[in-house]
Structure 1
């Protein structure tokens, strides 16, 4: 089981809406209703319903995919990673 959901970020980077279980670090990668749908992980019917909702509304699926792509470009890029690591290092050094 993947704790963070890098494959979900990869799907978002491709402009695809994501349907994923609402557990662990997954909500860090998927914003419910904005970049895809988060569903109870132990409810297959909820997954099916979310997928059907996307298939029934191509405009919403496209919008969520575009939102996901923008989120990846904003939050999951090397400049951001370096900035965040430097901030953590500064905190550690400062004590």
Structure 2
């Protein structure tokens, strides 16, 4: 599953765009120095997200939407189209 697919699945499970979840995390005081386990516990408790989806969001909460280009342009199951993740939600990408 690509990084973007994890974020899209988290949106489907929670009904909130990745950006909304990141904004909520920042409102709670989570940011670059926050241990992953704290963000994961919050996402599990409040939204029922598991570790895989949670870790994708942890990355964005702590580092922003840029990811390493390791899998960009590859054909493997973890490939992403870009090093920039879309946080605005699946609906915003329809037709674009």
TM-score if structure 2 supplies the norm length? Answer: 0.29
Question: Which has a greater percent of strand?
Answer: 1
For CA contacts below 8 A with separation 6 or more, give which structure has more relative contact order: 2
Question: Which has a greater percent of helix?
Answer: 1
When Rg is computed on C-alpha atoms for both structures, the one with the higher figure is 1
